[in-house]
Amino acid sequence: MLGRLNHVAIAVPDLASATALYRDTLGAKVSAPQALPDHGVTVVFIELDNTKVELLEPLGEASPIAGFLAKNPDGGMHHVCYEVEDIVEARDRLKASGARVLGDGEPKIGAHGKPVLFLHPKDFSGTLVELEQV
């Protein structure tokens, strides 16, 4: 069911500062910031040869990232994203095995313009998992 690792997401308290660190200090290619109001975040992607790193900053007070940063003020790893061929089939298979899909269980459009779902971290060794349809 799982395809390749799409990205690792890091929550940051200051997106501009984190972007500069990756771009200027590490010499990484970094995308322009993209606001995703449906997800409550602003993101940038750091392009690597084999995957991406997503930097997430809260967009509004109701952002789930704001809660994460309240517990982790310096930021930290937030989730991993894996690719799947058919997100609805993956969701149904996971739910049948007892995994919890967050939200209403329906895919939403993510930062790459593709359907995504999030899986409860308590079901995956304490790690929030995002699935993205390719």
Catalytic machinery residues: 130
Residue 90 CA to residue 65 CA, distance in Å, equals 25
3-state secondary structure at position 134:
coil
Tokens of 66: 């704001």
Buried-state track 81-95, b at ≥16 Cβ within 10 A, e below 16: bbbbeebeebbeebe
